[in-house]
Structure 1
Amino acid sequence: MAKLPDFEGLAIFAKVVELRSFAAAAGELALSKATVSKAVSRLEERLGARLFNRTSRRLALTDAGQKLSGRAERLLADGEAAESEALAQSVAPRGLVRLAVPMTFGVKAVAPILPEFFRQYPDVAVDLHLSDAMVDLIGEGFDVGLRIASLPDSSLIARRLCAMPRYTVASAAYLKRHGRPMHPMHLAQHRCLGYAYLSTPDVWHYINARGEQVSVRPGGPLRVNNGEALLPAVIAGLGIADLPDFIVGDAIASGEVEVILKDWKQTEGAVHLVTPPGGPRPARVEVLADFLAKHFAKAKRLKSPRRA
């Protein structure tokens, strides 16, 4: 396998040529004079040619050094420019951020606020990935994700933004035909509509104010992988569903559905901002994360927009 070029040696050689002094180069690079001298000697040994004629008073390039100096100077300049550009991008918000968000929440709550973000940060672009599936942020190369759940332990860095209550709901027509369940265990005798991406989609867990916990296995004619797709079926009286406030809040307010089992609730989730672990994040990621955090921290109730 071919060796990589001695980039460090070439850069130090270019700095010595620029300043015409080993001592001056060492001072500017914050290196010892011995380190600078060894780097140049290492480069000469590798190339099989002397690069400088050195006397106690004078430093002059040899023919080989003269031929190499131009390329070495360009290499040093390119390296400094690349580093400066990278540092600038890490300070100034610029570039692409890949953001993963649940489908309905992304459409209703995130997409409407992105124009304001772009007004504040015109040099940042967002690749908004909408899916209710639990994406692998690290494996799929996402910078930031929003998740609505009681988060399990993971290696991701999580920041809680706001609460997200859930409600067990049914239409008045369904309750008139099938009766009103008064206890979570009664759901086993009802038509329940399921959401595939709950942490335990086959089991609904409830708790009341006294701390009593109940788990029930609901069954019914419909399961979906997007929560909003359940709402028309609930309104039409097809069955009972458990939905987050941002999906069902307006339907509750309008009377299209009503909350049942008011003395019980499923484990209340929250909106979390999650990021992969690691060192400092680029400025473009930081500003988007802070923008989302500030917006949703101020939102006392996240809900779907009013329908006309």
Structure 2
Amino acid sequence: MDKLYNMSVFAKVVEMGSFTAVANHLDTTVGNISRAVSALEEALDTRLLQRSTRRLAVTDAGRRFYERSLAILADIEHAEAEARDTLLEPRGLLRVHAVPGLGRCLVARAALAYRESYPDVSVDLLLSQRLPNLLEEQLDLAVVIARSLPDSAYVSQKIGVSHCILAASPGYLAQHPAPEHPNDLADHHCLLISTVDYAPDEWHLESAAGRVIHRPTGPHLDVNDMDAMSVLLRDGAGIGLLAAFSAIDDLRRGALVRVLPQYHTHQRNVYAVHPSRQFVDAKTRRFIDALKLHVGDRLNAYAKELAIHV
């Protein structure tokens, strides 16, 4: 059992990149983590990690051992999970991260529907713009919007697609004639959205006629949150980009009007991302199913309502 524990500790060190992070994660001391790795190296008569005062580096032997260890530990985890039925019946605590706009508009609803179906699961829904470290922060799942995901050890599933549209308030458009072409945006107050996947200084707009890039110039107001953008637009501050899921209710009730309705931004994918492992427990699998239904299907419905080609 000591060897399995040491193997598990070593795998965590490779994934987290430091003894301190693993010690915090396992609620133990850095010394205990160091001794576990050293004991494993002594048993194998092989150096697995190169240590310095500033960083850890995995040796070639360490990388090979890490990959084999993952398979072994996953098999053990699977055997234990089967005994507890956690692969079959959702139960326990599910920790989910989501970006704020999508989290408030759709993921929260998915979490509520999920809880009604699986009352033995508690859900912690955490919202922030930053991309989390799932392992260090002990998260089961992250809901991410991006054109593509960077290479990582994580596993991802595509949930749906999202687009942004241009919108303004009726009051603003009453005082400023609505643009008929993207070039006309130069005559308007353009509010900039700056998030993980959107550069504020360029609007990439697409239509059946092709693609154009608008670069807002002059003094501007820049925000990094869709809800803040909605407030500014409703108050008549100008024209800005809003995700369809953030804009749809205001568009339906007339608080906002779509500008250049034939245009929208490039497609961004919505992913469910979870730590890489061979077996995924039932609570995570069923939540991904809930995301596909309550997030993915709704995004598709919004795109159809707004005549956005998906």
Do the two structures share a fold, i.e. TM-score over 0.5? yes
Identity %: 27
CA displacement, residues 77-129 of structure 1 (integer Å, 9 cap, x when unaligned): xxx9xx75674234432222210112232223222343332232222222110
Corresponding position of 1:229: 228
CA displacement, residues 173-197 of structure 1 (integer Å, 9 cap, x when unaligned): 2233333333324334422112221
Q: 1:119 & 1:251 partners in 2: Cα distance?
A: 28
Corresponding position of 2:193: 195
SS in 2 for 1:212: strand
User: Residues 1-308 of structure 1: matches in 2 within 5 Å?
Assistant: 84=80, 87-88=83-84, 89-155=86-152, 156-197=154-195, 198-217=197-216, 220-299=219-298, 300-301=300-301
Deviates more, 1:236-245 or 1:292-301: 292-301
5+ residue gaps, structure 2: 6-75, 304-310
Tell me, yes or no, if the aligned pair for 1:102 and 1:130 is still in contact at 8 Å: yes
Tell me, yes or no, if the aligned pair for 1:145 and 1:275 is still in contact at 8 Å: yes
5+ residue gaps, structure 1: 8-79, 304-308
SS in 2 for 1:301: helix
User: TM-score when scaled to structure 1?
Assistant: 0.63
Corresponding position of 2:59: none
Tell me, yes or no, if the aligned pair for 1:192 and 1:219 is still in contact at 8 Å: no
The letter for the 1-side match of 2:94 is: V
Tell me, yes or no, if the aligned pair for 2:107 and 2:295 is still in contact at 8 Å: no
The letter for the 2-side match of 1:119 is: E
User: TM-score when scaled to structure 2?
Assistant: 0.63
Measured after TM superposition, the shift of residue 139 of structure 1 is 4.4
Tell me, yes or no, if the aligned pair for 2:106 and 2:294 is still in contact at 8 Å: no
- Matched residue pairs, number? 228
Deviates more, 1:129-138 or 1:251-260: 129-138
Tell me, yes or no, if the aligned pair for 2:140 and 2:274 is still in contact at 8 Å: yes
Q: Over aligned residue pairs, what C-alpha RMSD do you find?
A: 3.2
